[in-house]
Every structure is written in structure tokens, then in C-alpha cells.
Chain A
Amino acid sequence: MAGNQSNNFMRKAVLAVAGLVLFYLCLYWINTQWDAYKVRILNLCAIYIGITLGLNLCNGFAGQFSLGIAGFMAVGAYTTALLTMSPQIKRAVYFIEPLISPLNSIQWGFLPSLIVAGLVSGLVGFAVGAPAIRFRDDYLGISTLGFAEIIRVVFTNTTHITNGALGLKGIPPHTNLYWSWTFALLCVFVMVRLTNSSYGRALKAIRDDEVAAEAMGVNLFYHKCLAFVVSATMAGIGGGLLGNLITTIDPNMFRFPLTFTVLMMAVLGGLGSITGSVISATVITIAMEALRVLEEPRVVLGIFLPGIPGMRMVVFSIALMLVILFYPKGFMGDRELGLDSFRNLAARFRRTFSHKQV
């Protein structure tokens, strides 16, 4: 019995390592062969996978309807930016009010900056989630939205730290496919481990019936804070990666439309499905770019079509409405595509073919 289990474990470990090696080889190939535009989109996909998973954890698995994700992304983005930007650029960018010390003279590497960004946004996540423990869905939504707004307003007004409404330019472009997709993989790993563990079950129990969960000994404060903190950390690191990808950030980026975008990704994919979030984040990120076509003026077959700004979001809003009205569980519902589903698929495949031979 034990021997079988450890064999199983070895097999899974070997598969995992092989898969990872293959994955990174693919990344290497893409990085060198594809053009910058496509690579940038792939980076965005990975970043949004991580952030969407963060939202899914809080809203989907734990059932805490939080609308504050843009705020956590802002915290992460600004933290990483402030830590990675060079002092010279900082002097140039902060021309209205100089950046306070010691921030104005330090420049850290990417990894420690991201880690700090994660920690800081996790802390903010705790500050936002802890008071909101007893709030009902709708109030929770509005107050988390309020927190995100407060964060944005604070960032807009603290010129000596964040450069206010001018935002930050010249953020070093550290983000590449390796960073972003490692982030995505880590997020998937954490989500899979967490949601399949006893703690994950406790979160789902809170989602389904928090009165009963509490009666069964689940500490609401601890677990709800856990959901908020992990979710905020993912969003914060994602925000940091985003900042170092697009190299300029300002407080107006992190407003409700951003939260809406992530919420839409999570809902469309299925609140409560990790695979759903991965798929929908990828598809929607690509679609966002593809639909940019609608918004920019172009010449098609000799005819000039003026762009319609805002059309993309109209399309996505309609998609969200259709999903919530007709397929509320989203694309994947709460199912996952795991090793089992592939095995089942393979088995069914084999069966059809063996029948044919008879």
C-alpha cells in the first residue's frame, strides 16, 4: 500500500518536473521568436491569470464579494515601481515635489521589490478585510470599493510619495515572460493547494453558509482575513509586474473599470473554478487587444471606418450580462480540468477506437 503511494508520488513528481522543463523551454522559444507585441500580450495574460485567481479566491471560493482589487493592484504597482526605479529617473519624474527619503535614493532588484510589494498589499488586504468581517455581500462590495477609492485618492494627493496625479514614468521594464508566467504558475499552485486543503474547504463552507460554518468551529475572522490577504497579495504582485511591464502608472489606471475587468474575467470563467479563471483571463486579455480594432479608426477595403471608443467595454459588458443571466456559473462553473479529466478523455478515446476494430 505504502509502496504504491510513493510510486504514485514519484510518478506525479516526475511528470510535474518534465512539464515544467517543457514549459520553460516553450517560453524561451517564444521569447526569442515572437515579436514584441505578441510577447507583451502573453505577459499580460499571465499577469491577469494571477490577479483573476486572486479575485476568484476571495469572491468565488470564499464568497466574499470584494470590489477592491484595483486598490491592491495599485499598492503593489506603486511599491514595486518606487523600489525599482533608479534615483536619477526619480529626480527627473518628481519635479513638483521631490520623493521623500530614503525612497529617493534606493534602487532594489526586482525579486525583493516584488516580495515587498506582495507583503505590503497583503497588509493592506488585512486592513481592508478585517473590519469588513461582519458585512453582508452588498455592503462588503461597496465598502471594499470605497477602500479602493480611498487608496486611489490618497495616491493622487500624496505627491511627495507617489508623485500624485502625474504618475510615475520610466519604471524599469523588468517584467518578461519568465517572471510573469512563473507568477501565474505560482498562483495556480497556491490556489490548487489551498482550495483542495482543509482550509479551502473551510473557505467554501463560509461561502455556502457562514452561520453553519461557524457552528462547526470555523473561525470566521481568521479565514475571511486569509482570503483577503492572499487575494490582495496576488493582486499586489500582479500589479507590480504590470507596472514594470507598461513602465508608466498613474492613479487613474486603478479605478473601477479595472476591477470590473478582473471581475468579468472571474465571472465568465466561473467563480469557483481555477481552470475557468486561467482560461478566461487568457481569452479575455487577448480579446481586449483584438477588439481594440473596434476602437481605432482603420481603413478596411478602402473604406474609412472611424473608431468607436468605448465599444470594447460595451461588448464585454454585454457578454457579462448574458453570462450572468443565462449561464451564471460561467464557463467552467466550479469544475476543473485536472489530470483525471485528461485520463477520462484518453480512456474514452481508446474505447471508441477499440470498438471500431471489433
Chain B
Amino acid sequence: MSKNNDSVLVCENIGMQFGGLAAVRNFDISIPNRALYGLIGPNGAGKTTVFNIISGVLSPTAGRVKLFGEDITGLTPDEIAKRGVARTFQNIRLFRDLTVLDNVLVGHHLRRKATLGEALLALPRYRKEESGMMHTSRELLEAVGLKDVAHYRASALPYGQQRRLEIARALATKPKVLLLDEPAAGMNPAETEQLMQLILDIRDRFNLSILLIEHEMKVVMNICEHITVLDHGEIIAEGTPSEIQSNERVIKAYLGGGTIARH
């Protein structure tokens, strides 16, 4: 486990106890800049718990999370978002009654410099920021292919588009680290292909690091440079895709290896 000095996000010995149950134990990860890392494991392995810890929804019972060397353990989710970590959710948490565009615009709110007073009186600094945010939001929507549905209510979008909207919204916060929680869930093969390309494009275009939870092995094996495998809250293996595919413990954890697709 090399801890580079240029690691963007580092988890040191993270542990999470819920009463008597250890959801996560001894979790370490070190993500460099512009990296695409994967986090896989059977259901209930603790992957989303790790995300919740990194993004601040949960406070770990042990260990530290560091972003660019700064300890962000135990900060609230909005503070962590301000420092550059954004995420999507396993169960899609969009702002259902807002429009697609508004969903993305909310992501910009944390970077706002104009005050409430300026907003109320529509002073120039606010108006300039607002039009800038509009412009960037439309660009983001175009990047994920949702330009045409900008004024639809978010709840009206089909499932695949909703997932992409969540990604666009997360990108609006100008993150340095993007946590994607099962972005390919429920997608058909064509959509999955598009998604993989989208993730790679995002990484290149926005110059950020991505940590990906995914069950769809095609995605993980094809685009991730490094994979960490969790089982029952502990890391059982990590390495490159080919190393993971041939790892006996991993195969056993997934009950016979049938779910690890060969690409």
C-alpha cells in the first residue's frame, strides 16, 4: 500500500462499528491524481459505507480520511463537498421536483461568492455569477447528453438519464475526487458502453480522480486502473484488473466466479 505524496485521497485504517457489528475494518486506500479506481465486493460488503465515511455522512469509529493531506474525518458532508469531494448515490437521490437544469445549478451553490443580499437585490456580482453558473451548467448537461431535457422535471427522466444527471450535478460542485456509487445499475449494454466512455471523458476533461463502486464487472475491468475488493467489511484483495480476475479469494467471495465477466 504505497502512500504517495501526490495522493489526492487517502483512507487510513478506516473502521466503522454499528453497535456490535463491524461494517468496515482496516480499510486503506490511496488514490492518486487522475486515477480511476474501483471498489467492488459482494452485496453488504461495506462499499457504500466507505463512501458514506469519505463523504461525511458517517463518522468512522476508527481511522482517518485525508484529502490533499488535510484531515477531513468527521467533517459534515457540505464541508467535505466544499473541499472537493462529490458523490452520486446508489439509490439515485435527485431533487425530484426541480428541473434537470436546476438540479445541476444546485451543485454550483457552494462555490457562490455573492451574498444573500446581493441575490435579493439582483446586484451585478450576483447576476454575473448566475449567468456564469447557467452557462457552465448547460455545458455539463451537454457533456452528459442531457442538453435537450434541461427543462424537464427530474422525476420525469428515464432511469439511465437520471443517473447521468446525478453525475452532472456532482460535477457542478467542481470536485477533485468523484465517488460514483453503482452508476451502471439498471442500464442496458448500450447505455453501459456510453457510461464507460462518459466516465473516461470526465476524468480526462475535468482532471479529477474517480472512485467507482460497481457490480457490473464489464465496467470495472475495462476502465479501472486499480481495484480494491471488499468482503464483509475487509479488503480481501487489491490490484490491477487482471490480478483481481485471477485472484482465488475474490472468486470465492463472489460464489464461484460466475459473475466476473471476461472482457
Give me the interface of A with B, judged by CB distance under 8 Å. 190, 193-194, 197-199, 201-202, 204-205, 207-209, 211-220, 226, 272, 334
Contacts and interface: CB of A to CB of B under 8 A. Distances in A.
Interface in B97-126: 97-98, 102, 105-112, 116, 119-122, 126
A216 B102 CA distance: 13
A218 B96 contact: no
B12 interface: no
B109 A202 contact: yes
Interface string B160-190: 0000000001101100000000000000000
A213 B93 CA distance: 9
Given A216-B81, A216-B169, A217-B82, A198 B98 contact: no
B93 A217 contact: no
A205 B95 contact: yes
Q: A199, A211, A214, A215 — which one has the most chain B CB atoms within 10 A of its CB? A: A215
Given A211-B93, A215-B55, A201 B109 contact: yes
A213 B95 contact: yes
B89 A194 contact: no
B119 A216 contact: no
Contacts of A193: 119-122
B199 interface: no
A217 B120 contact: no
Given A198-B133, A216-B169, A217-B81, A334 B97 contact: yes
Contact of A208 (B57, B95, B108): B95
A60 to B, nearest CB: 11
B86 interface: yes
B17 interface: no
Given A193-B119, A194-B119, A204-B98, A215 B81 contact: yes
B91 to A, nearest CB: 10
A209 B94 contact: yes
Given A197-B120, A220-B78, A226-B116, A204 B95 contact: yes
Interface in B114-148: 116, 119-122, 126, 130, 133
22 contacts: A193-B120, A193-B121, A193-B122, A197-B119, A198-B108, A198-B133, A199-B116, A207-B97, A208-B96, A209-B93, A209-B94, A211-B57, A211-B77, A211-B93, A212-B95, A214-B76, A216-B107, A216-B170, A217-B81, A217-B111, A217-B173, A226-B116
> Size class of B's contact patch?
35 or more
Given A193-B119, A211-B57, A201 B98 contact: yes
Contacts, number: 96
Given A198-B133, A215-B81, A217-B173, A204 B97 contact: yes
A201 B170 contact: no
A194 B96 CA distance: 20
Given A198-B105, A198-B130, A219 B98 contact: no
B93 A199 contact: no
B87 interface: yes
A220 B79 CA distance: 11
Contacts of B107: 216-217
B94 A219 contact: no
Contacts of B173: 216-217
B76 A213 contact: no
B138 to A, nearest CB: 15
Nearest to A214: B77
Contact of A209 (B55, B76, B96): B96
Nearest to B51: A215
B106 A218 contact: yes
Contacts of A201: 98, 102, 105-106, 109
B96 A205 contact: no
A213 B130 CA distance: 19
Contact of A214 (B78, B98, B130, B172): B78
B125 to A, nearest CB: 12
A272 to B, nearest CB: 8
A43 to B, nearest CB: 26
Given A208-B98, A215-B86, A216-B86, A199 B119 contact: yes
A190 B106 CA distance: 20
A253 B170 CA distance: 48
Nearest to B112: A198
A207 B130 CA distance: 22
Contacts of B133: 198
A270 to B, nearest CB: 12
A77 to B, nearest CB: 26
A212 B133 CA distance: 19
Given A193-B120, A207-B97, 12 more contacts: A197-B120, A198-B119, A201-B109, A204-B98, A208-B98, A211-B77, A216-B81, A216-B86, A216-B106, A217-B107, A217-B111, A219-B78
